[in-house]
Amino acid sequence: MSNHCELIWVNGKFIPFKNATTHVMSHTLHYGSGVFEGIKCYKTELGPAIFKLDEHINRLYSSANIYKIKIPFYPDELIQACIDLVKKNNIESGYIRPIIYFGYDSLGVHPKKCPVNVSIAMFNWGAYLGKDALEKGISVTISPWRKFHSSSFPTVAKANGQYLNSLLAVQDAHEKGYDEALLLNQEGTIAEGAGQNIFLVKDNELFTNSEDSCILMGLTRDTIIDLAKDNNIPLNIGRLSLGQLFNANEAFFCGTASEITPICSVDGRLIGFGKPGETTRKLQNLYLDIIHGKEKLYNHWLTYI
């Protein structure tokens, strides 16, 4: 497929890509007032399958509720819209982007009677962190920009304007020649990547942080936690320090777009031996098998089209 699908679902109807526009006076364009999700569809032996579709749509509604955005559709309608989007565009795999946002009524910060618009598009994103990222791993830098505190923004919401924080971190990382940024929180412990959660491996034990580290509670993160439990990999959830990161045997980012991406170095300092480790590979291979329908035990996470 081309980089984008030909049809986009907008407010209950499928329309051509070129017609899916919004006005420059829309509230969301001026204030970032919207919420979104990133969902992936994968090619399997049984046809296209969307990974954790219900969970993503449920989180979309949770994010909208936090910002008091009343979605004018039921969750089942958006779930079906995602399924129909794949069918109508005749796509085997791709990235699905639902977005809910305030349109135009007022340019005051309070949205007042601004209409709530809903759209779902699909496109081919490819390897989010580069062609060789999954296989060879990536280089990371610690961002000078801190992750915002949960007392300033609801970190559990996946909201449009909040990602300006990530934008600054990514710009800085790329300007310095790194693949991705790692943000610390206001307390100086590890938060997350610009768009990913983080896991560390030390002495065959898995470590990740919790909501009090001001992170988005990622669905891929939840998946890794479940897989660790199912495969008897010791799991520790708590605050992560830079010392733990630098002394880790392995580290990896995880997210819908990034999947499971090994971290090989941080600011030039090798993590472990500077290459993907055994535990990371084990979880990565299992995850890839699951999303492609090769692990039947986890088929309940897939919505087959």
CATH of domain 133-291: 3.20.10.10
pLDDT at 128: 75
Per-chain mean pLDDT for the chain: 96
CB count within 10 Å of CB 239 equals 15
CB count within 10 Å of CB 39 equals 23
pLDDT at 2: 54
Give the pLDDT band of residue 131 (cuts 50, 70, 90): confident
Is 158 among the residues known to form the active site? yes
Instruction: Indicate whether 255 pLDDT > 80.
Output: yes
Residue 36 phi, psi dihedral angles, 5° rounding: -150, 175
Give the pLDDT band of residue 125 (cuts 50, 70, 90): confident
| Adjacent-strand bridge partners of 35 | 100, 159
- Evaluate whether 258 touches 129 at the Cβ level (below 8 Å): yes
pLDDT at 1: 43
Tokens 């009524």 found at: 105
The pLDDT tens digits for 99-112 are: 999 999 989 999 99
For residue 159, give both structure tokens. Answer: 């909201």
The catalytic position among 40, 52, 147, 158 is 158
- Evaluate whether 1 touches 125 at the Cβ level (below 8 Å): no
Q: How far apart are CA 127 and CA 143, in angstroms?
A: 22
Could you write out the three-class secondary structure of 228-254?
HHHCCCCEEECCCCHHHHHCCCEEEEE
Q: Topology of 7-123 in CATH?
A: D-amino Acid Aminotransferase; Chain A, domain 1 (3.30.470)
Q: Do 7-123 and 133-291 come out as alike in CATH topology?
A: no
> Percent of the chain at pLDDT above 90?
95
Instruction: Indicate whether 129 pLDDT > 90.
Output: no
Q: How far apart are CA 237 and CA 239, in angstroms?
A: 7
Q: How far apart are CA 44 and CA 46, in angstroms?
A: 5
C-alpha distances out from residue 265 to 98, 258, 271, 273, Å = 33, 17, 5, 9
Q: Where are the domains of the chain?
A: 7-123, 133-291
